[in-house]
Structure 1
């Protein structure tokens, strides 16, 4: 198996080469290890707004010319902003990395940031904010996030607010860009039909002169807990229950992932079997781990009839409480198989490989091999999951959100009473 290699340019930009023999396509991911988590309240949403703005013009190309150049060679280009990173992605045919690297380098380092474009893009992002507010299974997660990390960057929407993005100016965004995409936080990762010597040449050409003063480091986050409820005329109740847990760098990270899988990660999970198959309380119900570098949350999401919301909350609390008593060997083996399968299936996508490698470099300083990750998964035992189960209950704190008909708003109380007494 060919392993990804890591190189560092003289200015601190790191480069990951992950060749996959036999492919006719390649993926390039340029990831900045900063996102909405480094924003203060006054600049909430600026990282996402900046990601939009760089596509309006960069390196002498207009917005139309940027996409026409990439698509003219059969490629695709996109970007995404998260709490802890901003990613620029291109998929190309073999031989297309030269153009993809040049275009993304322009986006990251030489955006036009025109004042007229900014006025229009603030309107566009405003519509994105409005669209999210009209989508119940988007806003219920934002409500829970706000309750979990109150008055912290992790508790604010990545999109920001109309007021905060309205404060942005071209000059202020230019300064924000220099901090957000500074070379100390940049990783250039390519996977697929990639030649290592060519990639290093392109990285040096396009990112070797990248400069900028780093943004202030993200402050540590604390899970505060709380609740957010809103009555709304909907067909279903939308519920999210969050409990505090570990982050990605914690040694118990894979134990957490396996815990969430057993609790509600698939059709054989405890929640799915109890809430849907045995009781018919919900069509959609699942558990998940929402993790950041240093902190995380164990989450349960459900959509159900308002009349069943309180009962479903009790069932969810009961299954979480039961997890602290231990899991069976069969459950643990199934969860391990599912987690490893998800990892290996994702690696069949060159873009997923490039994104994963860049994320690992930002978190751990190097790309991790699949064998290394599989070994960590296999090393988790039932006692590790019992420790996770006890740890999520010990603080006696939860972040709870409910959105829907008035009857649904009883669910947070029902969950807390059932779990904490």
Structure 2
């Protein structure tokens, strides 16, 4: 990300949290929020499903499940009871590029939360009988996702966008790939995935920096990397393609993806604004043209999904099957329309909406802790909100045109259509409207 060119006046600069590094490489971030009576702790590993090959597909997600079955001498029930007895809750999530363990607790709950997450990450039990049961649970989760049209259509589009690559495989894996795991192989995967140099311990809310550093040193400061080092992921290649699936549904579901830029690219904030103008709200171009003017869809929006080195610009819509092809052509037309400079009022509104979404989203303690950890993993530091606002405000109409040209220059799209057979014409209609 480039240096900000000017500061957004409404966003006052704040004291940026310091990043501390323990002797074994674990990084620690403390973000006190005055007036809060609760604390959020997020321990984030900078590895996830993107680190997997085809054989290990889904192992990171299965591992995240398994550590909760027992760790550090506590059973699965004792883990959650210990946290809940102090008024807190515990959760975890696996993504393509990171895995996160989170505790929300009342002020004073940081000690226990830190100890419990350290046990999950470093000392899980890995019982064979528990693993067999958890494979069944994840298998049900995979089946549930396949039965949900609005989940399946996104998975189909992701597969088309990055076919044959980690980003193109579902985070959940397949019953076959997770079925090969054993306690031994999953333990080895844990050692590689959650090594100290990949970890960030981040806390926000009612937290004292000295206390957090003491607890982080106590619970995370003594382990060393004891697993095989994971190779850096190969650069992602947007392959594109069509994934039409005929299914008896009441309406068609469409996901249309184009190759875009990653978080570290200078065009990142232009991408966010491009998606906002296209389909970020009720005043957006797609909503007004496709729904309000033409009545082609009840739900339609545009979004960006970004990773360290790549990203996508996406459109999602639900519509009547007979309207799907026309809706796809309308979406293509609105994207092509971004080759012309936007007006100052439209760009100003998009900037206000984007900053509002970003800053409202970070007003919760857990969101703050997670965001800080993600920034440290990507940039090695945390970003001041005023700096982020300045980056947004610096985007010009010309930047949006340039980014749109970059996106369309690839002449590739990934299209997933799920619904009645009539709707499947939407994918070739979108591609033809964009590229001829």
Indicate the TM-score class for this superposition, using the shorter chain for normalisation.
Answer: over 0.9
Q: Distance in 1 between matches of 2:224 and 2:126?
A: 18
CA contact (8 A) 1:2 1:20 kept: no
Q: Which range moved further: 206-215 or 323-332?
A: 206-215
Which of 99, 103, 113 lines up with 1:86 in the alignment? Answer: 99
Give 1:334's aligned residue. Answer: 349
SS in 2 for 1:43: coil
SS in 2 for 1:95: coil
SS in 1 for 2:201: strand
Give 1:52's aligned residue. Answer: 65
Q: Distance in 2 between matches of 1:88 and 1:105?
A: 10
How far did 1:210 drift? 2.4
Q: Distance in 2 between matches of 1:219 and 1:392?
A: 21
For residues 123-172 of structure 1, the C-alpha deviation after alignment (integer angstroms, 9 at most, x for no partner) is 00000000000000000000000000000000000000000000000000
Q: Distance in 1 between matches of 2:382 and 2:230?
A: 24
Q: Give runs of ≥4 in structure 1 deviating > 2 Å.
A: 210-214
Give 1:180's aligned residue. Answer: 193
Q: Distance in 1 between matches of 2:106 and 2:231?
A: 38
The alignment's TM-score, normalised by the length of structure 1, stands at: 0.99
Give 2:236's aligned residue. Answer: 221
CA contact (8 A) 2:15 2:384 kept: no
How far did 1:344 drift? 1.3
Which of 21, 39, 42 lines up with 2:34 in the alignment? Answer: 21
Gaps of 5+ in 1: none
Give 1:101's aligned residue. Answer: 114
Give 1:162's aligned residue. Answer: 175
Which of 10, 13, 21 lines up with 1:8 in the alignment? Answer: 21
For residues 150-208 of structure 1, the C-alpha deviation after alignment (integer angstroms, 9 at most, x for no partner) is 00000000000000000000000000000000011100000000100000000000000
SS in 2 for 1:190: strand
SS in 2 for 1:165: helix
How far did 1:2 drift? 3.5
How far did 1:302 drift? 0.4
Which of 218, 224, 239 lines up with 1:205 in the alignment? Answer: 218
Where in structure 2 are the equivalents of 1:19-418 lying within 5 Å?
A: 19-212=32-225, 213=227, 214-418=229-433
Q: CA RMSD in A?
A: 0.7
The number of residues matched between the two structures is: 421
The alignment's TM-score, normalised by the length of structure 2, stands at: 0.96
Q: Distance in 2 between matches of 1:406 and 1:27?
A: 48
Gaps of 5+ in 2: 1-13
